[in-house]
Amino acid sequence: MIAESIVAVVPQGSRVLDLGCGDGALLARLQAERGCQGYGIELDDAKVLACMRRGVDVLQLNLEEGLAIFADDSFDVVLQLDTLQNLRNTTAMLRETARVGRLGVVSFPNFAHWPNRLSVLRGRMPVTRALPYQWHDTPNIRVGTFADFEVLAGQCGLRVLDAFGLRDGQRVGRWPNLRAATAVFTFERG
């Protein structure tokens, strides 16, 4: 599901790089509805093929190897949606995101969402829509919270422009660290 509030932060006509673009649905939509152009990066064969079928310009690259292929400031917007938690080199990737794009947009599952807290209080790792995996087979190697990211952004020299939570695709403004399943941050180089 593509949250309207994420589509909304991408300015009309902007050049977009979508890191971990999946099946390319978001890019296809940004191209069709917002006159954007750009590329998606995806590692998975099936998803690369899905992007090709949509006519999305997908590059099959491993994000763990960085973004050296892109020049500084080559995009208006770099999206890193539901990807951060799968990457080993989190801080390097955030710096790279800020280097190649003027605006960075990151989203990731908020581990401090209250059902997750309840689950851990009960002694079990959470399994929810945003965190659908069992602890032993999850691809999410970085689990963090909305509040954690605010700290990390500072450490990576990012200036946070906007931060909000998402629950069922709806924007959560108040107490996002407790009330949002997904954390969304937009930022630029500090």
Q: Which residues bind another protein (CB under 8 A)?
A: 15, 37, 39, 45, 48-49, 51-53, 55-61, 69-71, 74
Q: State the minimum distance, in angstroms, from the CB of residue 71 to another protein.
A: 6
39/185 with CB nearer another protein: 39
CB of 44 or CB of 168, closer to another protein = 44
Residue 55 C-beta: closest distance to another protein, Å: 5
Shortest reach from residue 13's CB to another protein, in Å: 14
Residue for token pair 């403004």:
173
Cα–Cα dist 166/184, whole Å: 7
Q: In this complex, which beta carbon is closest to another protein, that of residue 68 or of residue 121?
A: 68
Report yes or no: 40 and 21 within 8 Å, Cβ to Cβ. yes
Q: Which is nearer to another protein, 65 or 137 (CB)?
A: 65
Minimum separation from the CB atom of position 43 to another protein (A): 9
